[in-house]
Every structure is written in structure tokens, then in C-alpha cells.
Amino acid sequence: MIRNYGHFLLAFAALLFQVFPGIFIYVAPGLSYAPGHSLVEARVWTVSIAGLAGLALAGLLLTSAASYRLLTRSRAVIAWPMVLFFCVPAWLLSVFYLHAVLVFLAWV
């Protein structure tokens, strides 16, 4: 039964996935600068940029797959509102995180 509705859940999962880059941004400084840190300070930059870029690209991939499956496997009456309410915000957040990575790379 889940097989028939998997493309609807994928759109919801794509939007829910956008919580992880925010959590990563919140946790990453604590890995290096908190007392009892677990990450060497010289590697903070590499880990934070690579982690945020990976999460942003994974979000874009997940959102693109969700919108493709919605548009090809369901009726337009159902697909377009789901793309509008679930996939577009997830795309925008993923692009925002990727833009933040690129600005940070150009700035530093």
C-alpha cells in the first residue's frame, strides 16, 4: 500500500529534510569551540563547508526527485498543489543553503 503513495511521502520528506542543514549549522560550531570539543580547529572550515554543501545538494536532489515523481505519477490536480506547497519551499531552502556555501567560499 505504501508503494502507491510513496511519491506523496517523498514530497513531504523533501520538505522535512530541510531541518537537517539548520541543525548542522547550529551544531557545527560547537564541535570545535565548545569545551571538550571533538573536532580539530583546523578542520572546522572543511567539515562545515563540505557538510553544508552536501546537505544542500542532497536536498536539491531529493526535492527534484519528489517533484518529478509527483508530476509523472499523479493527477495534475493533486501534483501541482503538492509541488507548490512542499517542493518549492524545499527548493528555495536548498538553494539558500547552497548560496550560503558559495558566498562563504568566495568571502573566505
Residues 26-57 have pLDDT tens digits of: 988 887 777 877 777 778 888 889 999 999 99
Q: Evaluate if pTM is beyond 0.75.
A: yes
Residues 6-26 have pLDDT tens digits of: 888 999 999 999 999 999 999
9-14: long-range contacts at Cβ-Cβ below 8 A with a sequence spacing of 24 or more? 10/62, 10/65, 10/66, 10/69, 10/70, 11/66, 11/67, 11/70, 11/82, 11/83, 11/86, 11/87, 12/86, 13/62, 13/66, 14/59, 14/62, 14/63, 14/65, 14/66, 14/86, 14/87, 14/90
